[in-house]
Amino acid sequence: MTNWFNFPSFEVVHNTLAQFIKNISQWKDEEEEDNILIHGSHDHPLTLEFDLSNITNFSDYHEVICNGCILPLFMNDAPFYSCNRCDFFLHKWCAKLPCELKPHPDTDHTDTEHTLTLQVRMKECFGFFSCKGCQRVGNGFAYKCKECKGYYLDVICAALPRRVNHETHKHPLHLKYGRTIGGCFSCGETNFFDDRIYNHSSTISSCPTSFTFGCDRCHFSIHPSCLLLPQEIVHWYDEHGFKLIDPDIFISNDNQGASEYHCEFCEEKIDPKRLMYHCFECDQCVDAYCVNGLLSQFAKPVKFDGLYDSQLHKKHPLTCILPGEEFNCNGCKEEWPIMCRMFGIGFEFTECQIRFGLICFISKGSLDHEKESYDQDRDLLVKSI
């Protein structure tokens, strides 16, 4: 089956990602849900909720995040499951994900058809993992390959269809792993990353690559997150909104006199080989790369605000946060300064002025008898990105 995609808004993108997950879920529309659910991902019973307004005042409803797929809950996602004691929520389809998926889409293992096993409560790395599909660190549910060391997929990447049609290309696009030809049509990046920052570890030998949708006939590739960009975005930078366009065609046919454009978000020059967003009324542009990194559903698959017990600060649990510019890790010194910053995940207890980046939190926050195991997990996490 081939899926045809056109995304007018972020809400449509969200609904499409939800449909991907529904396609692999064992939940069906006609099924009657249990009012009380005992799920292996959580210590407390989960209650079926029918109205999102009972949970939020809508001014910050995007903060209601599913702990399984790390997507926000929208009004049309009801009913859903929630914990009456904790900030824990599950889409009804995430509550019934299959225990196994087979095979995982790795071209190095097409002859083995390794099975992926659902992990709803991981002990390794305090539940954080690096997804082999999108190269992002997350803390939702994961699918793990028992045969391939360090191979995890988050729920969204595990649910991606194997074949799609998209307006960026005339031929069907097939899901690829480790594809290196040409780079991404939208962002221009290849699937390979700079190995120099990973030289401290040799615990995993596979190259750090990611998923793309590609056409072998035309050497065309596009990342899933770039393929899922909406046609139009609304942002406070511009009252009219921005529309997705091909900059090469737009700049060459521009009647307004500008020979080049700069992104309103990052103020860098727009690469004519990348997609961009443009407001025709105000003649302002935004790089699609910035939109993907800042606003897309793939931006940060992490549920923040959770509490974590750690040996680093035994008096109080630490809160998982999105670090700001002034964030300084207490554990880095000169050992992990770059790594703790690059992940964009922090832990803190404000009253005691305790702050740690993800890598220091994982490597130094474990019990002594668990340290060797956590050091290996940390190295796998870092190396696999």
For residues 88 and 174, membership in a common domain is answered with: no
* Peptide bond just before 103 cis, omega within 30 deg: yes
302 in any annotated domain: no
Q: Residue with structure tokens 């997990």?
A: 377
For residues 313 and 285, membership in a common domain is answered with: no
- The domain in which residue 213 lies consists of 99-227
Using the 3D structure, point to which of 227, 243, 271 is the last residue of a domain: 227
* Peptide bond just before 72 cis, omega within 30 deg: no
User: Which of 156, 173, 174, 211 lies closest to 23, judged by CA?
Assistant: 156
The pLDDT score that the predictor gives to residue 382 is 56
299 in any annotated domain: no
Q: Which of 47-51, 64-68, 372-376 has the lowest mean pLDDT?
A: 372-376
The pLDDT score that the predictor gives to residue 74 is 85
- Is a pLDDT exceeding 90 seen at residue 96? yes
Compute CA distances 175 → 38, 66, 158, 164, 216, whole Å. Answer: 35, 25, 11, 8, 11
141 in any annotated domain: yes
The pLDDT score that the predictor gives to residue 24 is 92
**Segment 256-300, tens digit of pLDDT:** 545 678 888 888 888 776 778 888 888 888 888 788 766 665 667
Q: Which pairs from 59-64 meet CB under 8 Å and 24+ separation?
A: 64/89
DSSP state of 233: E
For residues 199 and 239, membership in a common domain is answered with: no
In the chain, how many domains are there? 4
Question: How far apart are the C-alpha atoms of 117 and 101, rounded to whole Å?
Answer: 7
The pLDDT score that the predictor gives to residue 362 is 84
The pairing of strands 3-5 and 163-166 is parallel
Pick 14 or 297 by higher pLDDT. Answer: 14
For residues 88 and 124, membership in a common domain is answered with: no
**Segment 228-251, tens digit of pLDDT:** 888 888 776 667 778 887 666 666
Pick 363 or 294 by higher pLDDT. Answer: 363
**Segment 177-225, tens digit of pLDDT:** 766 566 787 777 765 544 333 333 322 223 345 788 888 888 888 888 8
For residues 317 and 373, membership in a common domain is answered with: yes
3 in any annotated domain: no
Average pLDDT, the chain: 77
Q: Which of 19-33, 286-300, 307-321 has the lowest mean pLDDT?
A: 286-300
- Is a pLDDT exceeding 70 seen at residue 370? no
For residues 236 and 215, membership in a common domain is answered with: no
15 in any annotated domain: no
For residues 222 and 107, membership in a common domain is answered with: yes
The pLDDT score that the predictor gives to residue 25 is 92
For residues 250 and 346, membership in a common domain is answered with: no
176 in any annotated domain: yes
